[in-house]
Structure 1
Amino acid sequence: MVQIGRRSLLGALGVGMSSVSGCLGSSDAGAESGSIDGGSDGSTGSVAEGPPTVERSLPAAYTAEELAAASRSGGPPPDGIPAIEDPQFAEATDPPALLDDGDPVFGVVLDGEAKAYPQSVLVWHEIANDVIAGTPVSVTYCPLTGTAQGFHRGETTFGVSGQLINANLVMFDRATGARWPQMLATRITGDDPGDHLKEFRVVWTTWERWRSAHPETVVLTDDTGFARNYGSDPYGGYNPRSGYYADDSLLFPPLAEDDRLAPKTVVIGMRSANGAVAVRKETLREERIIEFDLDAVRHAAVYDGSLDTGYVYRPRDGAESDGTDGADLETATLSWEDGDVVVDGSVHAPDSLPFEREIAFDAMWFAWYGYYPMTDLHR
């Protein structure tokens, strides 16, 4: 597997280092600077609690100490890639001028409020600290691993530490300075590491698809308070795919390697108490429903054609259904019909099957396998 330096990649792309200073090195004047060991909350300087965490069991291939030892500088210092702290939004009927229909956006719906975060903006910031439906959240994106994930942040905010593990963004919360690798959603520093962030689903889709599915959505603009060339991606492009996103070169070595798929093949990954699974996205597009056992528990991955995404389901605790059709995933019959999923004769939208929906997200295969070498792969 080819690994090249960050300067070599940018040179091959014809991008000067000065044009990506906010993404890869220095911050603007006025951008927050801090240490991952600091205790500021990013606003008043008063001591605040860290982000809310949840009791959950996730598969782990490495100890916190091993992960901390694998941490390496990605180039910039803490907050050298400045998070968006005061996001501004536009209506779907008046979107940013640089946003094309085929451009990727990261869509979120919380408590009925829909928002879209263009990849072209977040590639320069990686974290947007926002409030959705009254809930403080952080929408995060790592361009090197192709992962967009959402976290509840409570009274604190997240920043970009400048460190990478497995080529993946390592966040820090400004209340405690603790480090949280994005894909793991797990604290790896501080006393008794291992806390897990409270997550919510972020959908990787296109602006046209998201706007069609959620016409009431608002969309993040490039009015961020920072001077960036939001019309140019420092790593390449997705519409069409080019540069780093289109070849097999890696800027940083993964924690583990597997050649069953090309390194940057997009998979939909899910991890839970039952284990970890990766479903090749193109395979899910073709088959639409993939059923599998994980730790002897029946699961199903289903395709959503309207958003070009997928969802992973497991049986509800105690095999309880939503009370409408008595469905039990262990014994249910699933089939595809005109974009919907038929469960024992009852029709459901792909995102609302009568089972427990797990958190799943798009990822590049090399990064998913690097963190979860025990993963089951469906290709």
Structure 2
Amino acid sequence: MSSTRRDVLRWTGGLGLAALGGCLGSAHRDDASADRSVSSDDESLPPTTERPLYLGHGLESLRNNVVSGGVSKDGIPSIDRPVFSAADASSLGDGDPVFGLVRNGDARAYPQRVLVWHEIVNDSVGGDPVAVTYCPLTGTAQGFERGPAEFGVSGRLVNSNLVMYDRATDSRWPQMLATAIEGALEGESLHEFRLVWTTWKNWRDAYPNTRVLTEQTGYSRRYGDDPYGRYNPDSGYYANTQLLFDPLSEDTRANPKTVVLGVRTAHGALAFEKTSLLENRVLEGELAGERFVAVADPALETGYVYVADADVDVEPNAAGYDVDGEFARANELPLGRSLAFDAMWFAWAGFYPETNYVV
């Protein structure tokens, strides 16, 4: 069900493609990636993992499914000089989505209403250079260590997902995969960290000293006027079942826009339905013989995923969880935590067609 430009303009009420950013357009391969060799000790590169992340598709297949987002490279400008204010100076509504991050005692909130127009923030938090990223079409907010490199928006998509590029090598990185599918760093995976998708009120209550990204971006955008719809309550693209592009693969186990909390291991992928997790507090899944336990954090309306031995007992209580009789908060269980992030089901299942799914 690929969209034409006319279909997209009609669906969005006539907004121009440039206004919509890098998540719309027709099929077109980008062959402009840099052809330069790099040394593993090149200090200008973004840091990568020792072992690449699991991929549900081959690199060539992923490259063959890259499509144009309707704008040129950097047509959606990343925020490279972010400006922050104190929490009490924010004009955000209590229910507005934010992506929260705490590092070395430095708490920050990145409003969805700002990132929907920029998709990448090159920032330094707690003294560490990081990239905070968001793709509206897949509902994914993810953080990456960037080292001395910066990331930008390529204007391309795969499986509806933002394709980033690094300004050191021009390699191409689908955000959800965190792995370069083209360029000098092809096959390498980025170091990721967790962002918390929550509401402004939840985050402010948990971290009253947080700073919040302002609309002083250096660009003129209609912040607060989301071209795809609204959150809280959900409407437009975020609420219906319509997709603007064909997914890499289809899976009818859930509504395409159902939000899942997804986890990858070296052996595969696992997804927990987020609404079910928030209602039940604890969900369990299995992947390649390992037991995974997801626990809800009601205060932030999010969840965390851990690897647990078969005989470990995890029970919710009023303030958190009992783990074999030991009390812990949702984000501090005495178990090995796995990196997990929110995603729309169609996007997760498209990238990971053999994913396990827990409701």
- With normalisation by structure 1, the TM-score equals 0.87
Which residue type is aligned with residue 78 of structure 1?
Answer: K
Partner SS, residue 89 of structure 2? coil
Aligned to 1:67: 62
- Indicate yes or no: 2:87 matched with 1:88: no
CA distance in 2, matches of 1:360, 1:7: 36
> How far did 1:24 drift?
6.3
Partner SS, residue 330 of structure 2? coil
CA distance in 1, matches of 2:59, 2:150: 22
Partner SS, residue 149 of structure 2? coil
> How far did 1:66 drift?
1.3
Aligned to 2:73: 78
Supply the RMSD in Å over aligned alpha carbons.
1.9
**Structure 1 range deviating more: 59-68 or 350-359:** 59-68
Question: Number of aligned pairs?
Answer: 347
Which residue type is aligned with residue 34 of structure 2?
Answer: D
CA distance in 2, matches of 1:19, 1:127: 16
Please show how residues 156-305 of structure 1 align to structure 2 within 5 Å.
156-191=149-184, 193-305=186-298
Query: Structure 2, unaligned stretches of length 5 or more?
Result: 25-31, 37-41
> Residues 363 and 100 from structure 1, CA distance in 2 versus in 1: closer, same or farther, beyond 3 angstroms?
same
What is the CA deviation profile of residues 234-292 of structure 1, one whole-angstrom value per residue up to 9, with x for unaligned ones?
A: 11111321111111111111100011101000000010124210111111012111122
CA distance in 2, matches of 1:91, 1:10: 38
Which residue type is aligned with residue 338 of structure 1?
Answer: A
Partner SS, residue 76 of structure 1? coil
Aligned to 2:48: 53
> How far did 1:111 drift?
1.8
Partner SS, residue 107 of structure 1? strand
Which residue type is aligned with residue 137 of structure 1?
Answer: V
* CA contact 1:172–1:180 (8 Å) conserved in 2: yes
Which residue type is aligned with residue 180 of structure 1?
Answer: W
Which residue type is aligned with residue 292 of structure 1?
Answer: G
- Indicate yes or no: 2:358 matched with 1:361: no
> Residues 331 and 274 from structure 1, CA distance in 2 versus in 1: closer, same or farther, beyond 3 angstroms?
farther
CA distance in 2, matches of 1:106, 1:238: 13
Which residue type is aligned with residue 212 of structure 1?
Answer: D
* CA contact 1:15–1:234 (8 Å) conserved in 2: no
Which residue type is aligned with residue 103 of structure 1?
Answer: D
> Residues 9 and 192 from structure 1, CA distance in 2 versus in 1: closer, same or farther, beyond 3 angstroms?
closer
CA distance in 2, matches of 1:346, 1:302: 15
What is the CA deviation profile of residues 82-123 of structure 1, one whole-angstrom value per residue up to 9, with x for unaligned ones?
A: 00010000101111x2x1000100001112211100000000
**Structure 1 range deviating more: 243-252 or 330-339:** 330-339
CA distance in 2, matches of 1:18, 1:58: 33
> Residues 38 and 139 from structure 1, CA distance in 2 versus in 1: closer, same or farther, beyond 3 angstroms?
farther
Aligned to 2:318: 338
CA distance in 1, matches of 2:184, 2:317: 51
Partner SS, residue 101 of structure 1? coil
* CA contact 1:48–1:156 (8 Å) conserved in 2: no
- Indicate yes or no: 2:42 matched with 1:37: no
> Residues 82 and 373 from structure 1, CA distance in 2 versus in 1: closer, same or farther, beyond 3 angstroms?
same
What is the CA deviation profile of residues 24-66 of structure 1, one whole-angstrom value per residue up to 9, with x for unaligned ones?
A: 69xxxxxxxxx64388xxxxxxx96221001235322222111
CA distance in 2, matches of 1:277, 1:7: 37
* CA contact 2:34–2:183 (8 Å) conserved in 1: no
> Residues 281 and 308 from structure 1, CA distance in 2 versus in 1: closer, same or farther, beyond 3 angstroms?
same
> Residues 36 and 215 from structure 1, CA distance in 2 versus in 1: closer, same or farther, beyond 3 angstroms?
farther
CA distance in 2, matches of 1:64, 1:24: 21
> How far did 1:20 drift?
1.5
CA distance in 2, matches of 1:220, 1:262: 32
CA distance in 2, matches of 1:155, 1:340: 38
> Residues 10 and 243 from structure 1, CA distance in 2 versus in 1: closer, same or farther, beyond 3 angstroms?
farther
> Residues 118 and 313 from structure 1, CA distance in 2 versus in 1: closer, same or farther, beyond 3 angstroms?
same
> Residues 127 and 4 from structure 1, CA distance in 2 versus in 1: closer, same or farther, beyond 3 angstroms?
same
Aligned to 1:109: 102
What is the CA deviation profile of residues 138-177 of structure 1, one whole-angstrom value per residue up to 9, with x for unaligned ones?
A: 0000000000000011111000001100000000000000
- With normalisation by structure 2, the TM-score equals 0.92
- Indicate yes or no: 2:122 matched with 1:135: no
**Identity between Structure 1 and Structure 2 (%):** 52
* CA contact 2:149–2:168 (8 Å) conserved in 1: yes
> Residues 38 and 209 from structure 1, CA distance in 2 versus in 1: closer, same or farther, beyond 3 angstroms?
farther
What is the CA deviation profile of residues 287-335 of structure 1, one whole-angstrom value per residue up to 9, with x for unaligned ones?
A: 11112221111211000001000111014xxxxxxxxxxxxx3321110
> Residues 101 and 220 from structure 1, CA distance in 2 versus in 1: closer, same or farther, beyond 3 angstroms?
same
Partner SS, residue 337 of structure 2? strand
CA distance in 2, matches of 1:6, 1:109: 40
Which residue type is aligned with residue 259 of structure 1?
Answer: T
**Structure 1 range deviating more: 124-133 or 336-345:** 336-345
CA distance in 1, matches of 2:52, 2:222: 41
Aligned to 2:11: 12
* CA contact 1:116–1:220 (8 Å) conserved in 2: yes
CA distance in 1, matches of 2:85, 2:5: 34
